[in-house]
């Protein structure tokens, strides 16, 4: 495993038609131990910013377009300056060149509001080689259901809650994962106060019922998952029906299989919900993960 990489981005306005040489000049690798943030940065002090995490296998990043589109959508929700997507794409390419050509890795794109709301955002990428085998992909995960504390349609009434944006404020998500560990589980399915299953703290939920695959509709206060979308593409091509709708929590126990899916860990089959064992489809899980990695 090689060392992590850090690439600083001097942000170029989204509407600037910057030449490739100007974009290259705006990107600068720094040693991973070098401090890069002011103590007054809003990202560090308030979690005021957005990020993306891309999965990498054998030198290729998955779903670059989808991640850049979501970065742009998250920035818009937070009233941050729109990112220059050509610049970020160049940054991802440069990071891929700096990472090992084989094995798995993750690339993180970060934009914070910076030190002064009127000034430029603070922007960087990190690249981190990761252990190439995730036992969760084959052994599965036990989940607990935990309330997210608001109703399914909260995003419509309270857009300032930023549901559906990938903000840097993940302290709640990390606290939920620690609560899962306290309860002897590995991961979480967040639920709404009106009784629907939503998503994991860092993953999307997919259920199988017969030949139908179901994921919560994104208007219900969840992040639009890039891995879930890729998997629906794969499953659709395999002839399965793929549906977006509300999922009453009870369906977690009544489905033929369930997964939490995300860009780096990929598809992790759920083996138990709140201590009750549920069926798994490990052969299909293996094919799903092979499709994502392929």
Query: Please, what is the minimum distance in Å from the beta carbon of residue 205 to ligand PLP?
Result: 9
For residue 253, the minimal CB distance to ligand PLP (Å) is 21
28 vs 178 by CB, closer to ligand PLP: 178
Residue ranges binding ligand PLP (CB under 6 A):
53, 199, 202-204, 223, 225-228, 261-263
Listed in order, strand segments (DSSP E) in the chain are 5-9, 27-30, 49-57, 60-61, 104-112, 122-130, 141-147, 187-191, 199-200, 203-209, 212-216, 241-245, 257-262, 266-273, 276-277
Q: Between 122 and 228, name the residue whose CB sits nearer to ligand PLP.
A: 228
Minimum CB–partner distance for residue 144 and ligand PLP (Å)? 16
Q: Which letter, b or e, does each residue of 217-250 get, where b requires 16 or more Cβ atoms within 10 Å of its Cβ?
A: bbebbbbbbbbbbbbbebbeeeebebeeebbebe
Q: How far is the CB of 17 from ligand PLP (least distance, A)?
A: 29
By beta-carbon proximity to ligand PLP, the closer residue of 152 and 226 is: 226
Of 26 and 124, which has the nearer Cβ to ligand PLP? 124
Q: How far is the CB of 261 from ligand PLP (least distance, A)?
A: 6
Of 173 and 209, nearer to ligand PLP (C-beta) is: 173
Using alpha carbons, list the distances in angstroms from residue 261 to 64, 121, 251.
Answer: 17, 30, 18
Tokens of 175: 């606290």
The position carrying tokens 């899962």 is 180
């Amino acid at each position: 495993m090689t060392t992590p990489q850090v690439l600083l981005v001097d942000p170029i306005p989204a509407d600037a038609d910057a030449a490739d040489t100007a974009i290259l000049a705006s990107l600068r690798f720094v040693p991973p131990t070098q401090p890069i943030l002011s103590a007054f940065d809003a990202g560090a002090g308030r979690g005021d910013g957005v990020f993306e995490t891309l999965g990498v296998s054998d030198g290729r990043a998955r779903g670059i377009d989808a991640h850049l589109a979501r970065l742009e959508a998250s920035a818009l929700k937070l009233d941050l300056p729109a990112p220059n997507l050509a610049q970020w794409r160049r940054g991802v390419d440069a990071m891929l060149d700096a990472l090992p050509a084989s094995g798995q890795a993750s690339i993180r794109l970060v934009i914070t509001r910076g030190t002064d709301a009127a000034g430029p955002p603070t922007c960087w990428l990190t690249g981190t080689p990761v252990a190439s085998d995730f036992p969760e992909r084959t052994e599965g995960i036990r989940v607990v259901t935990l309330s997210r504390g608001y109703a399914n349609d909260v995003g419509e009434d309270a857009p300032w809650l930023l549901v559906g944006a990938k903000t840097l404020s993940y302290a709640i998500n990390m606290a939920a994962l620690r609560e899962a560990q306290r309860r002897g589980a590995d991961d979480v399915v967040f639920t709404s106060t009106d009784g629907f299953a939503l998503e994991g703290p860092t993953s999307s939920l997919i259920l199988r019922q017969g030949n139908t695959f179901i994921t919560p509709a994104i208007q219900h206060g969840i992040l639009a998952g890039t891995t879930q979308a890729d998997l629906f593409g794969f499953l659709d091509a395999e002839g399965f029906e793929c549906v977006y709708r509300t999922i009453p929590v009870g369906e977690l126990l009544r489905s033929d299989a369930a997964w939490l899916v995300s860009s780096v860990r990929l598809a992790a089959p759920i083996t138990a919900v709140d201590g009750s064992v549920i069926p798994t489809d490990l052969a299909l899980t293996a094919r799903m993960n092979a499709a994502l990695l392929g």
